[in-house]
Amino acid sequence: MENQKPLILVTNDDGITAPGIRHLIKIMHTLGEVVVVAPDRPQSGMGHAITINDNLYCDPTTIDKYSDIKEFSCSGTPTDCVKIATQEILKRKPDLCVSGINHGSNSSINVIYSGTMSAAVEAGVEGIPAIGFSLTDYSMEADFEPTTKWVKKITKEVLNNGLPKGVVLNVNFPAIDKIKGAKICRQAKARWQEQFDKRKNPQGRDYYWLAGEFINEDEGPDTDVEALDAGYASIVPIQFDLTAHHFIDEIKTWKING
């Protein structure tokens, strides 16, 4: 049907009740038919993990009272949510998957740890155009309103133009009242300098609490970190083909078979 609304799958990694996903649902409701499949609890930092050694549950739920939105609370990871949505819940392939809006940055190296972005990547693997949205504010009281017009603009462009096979968008917003604009960027080269805080529990057993410092090693132009620091939304097209194509010819010179 030519006038059929686009079918939009919404998910996240902060859990189905997180303010970020509730804001994203409200925006998507203005753009198409929305189905929500999201974790029943926070799943941050899960990366592309899937559930293989436990039962997986996915139950209908109602959070905000939209009469025309179906929501499902899933016991699994963000990647599980996309898999079960496409295989068991949706009647047809969605026109778009949006993940987020994440509470906290997924720029630079954070993309590989992110459950938010792994959900988007999983949709991309299934041939579904996908966008991960994140705000550089980890607070549950974060203000998502300044992102609204940009989320809507970017989503409309993807719905109208599509994305290349194997590519999804990683979109991050600075936590400011007025976002200056959006910049198409590359992923900054950065890393985490991890530290483990060693403690003892009441029974005397050692345990560790992960902490760390974000180290940006990229002073070059056009990075997502640079854009965010300057007050712009960053848009990075990412791909899930991890092949280091530039190294193939050199590694062929190794005497592996000789």
Residue 247 lies in a domain: yes
Identify the DSSP state of 5.
P
Domain containing residue 118: CATH number: 3.40.1210.10
Any domain includes 211: no
The pLDDT value recorded for residue 115 is 95
Q: What pLDDT, on a 0 to 100 scale, did the predictor assign at position 247?
A: 97
Q: Is residue 115, in this structure, part of any structural domain at all?
A: yes
Which residue do the tokens 């994305």 mark? Answer: 163
Per-residue model confidence (pLDDT) at position 209: 84
The confidence score (pLDDT) of residue 1 equals 45
What are the pLDDT digits (tens) for 92-107? 999 999 999 999 999 9
**Residue 112 located in a structural domain:** yes
Domain total of the chain: 1
Predicted local confidence at residue 237, as pLDDT: 98
Name the residue range of residue 169's domain.
7-187+221-251
Return the pLDDT at 248.
Answer: 96
In a domain, 195, yes or no: no
**CA neighbor of 12 nearest in space, from 67, 63, 88, 53:** 63
Q: What is the mean pLDDT of each run of 10 residues along the chain (258 residues)?
A: 84 97 98 97 88 94 91 97 97 97 93 94 97 96 97 98 97 98 92 83 90 77 94 97 95 90
The reported pLDDT for the residue numbered 183 is 97
Question: What span, in angstroms and rounded, lies between the C-alpha atoms of 126 and 192?
Answer: 31
- Average pLDDT over the chain reads 93
Determine, yes or no, domain membership for 151.
Answer: yes
Q: At 38, is the secondary structure helix, strand, or coil?
A: strand
Examine residue 47 and state whether it is found in any structural domain, yes or no: yes
Distance CA 46, CA 199 (A): 24
Does residue 120 form part of some domain? yes
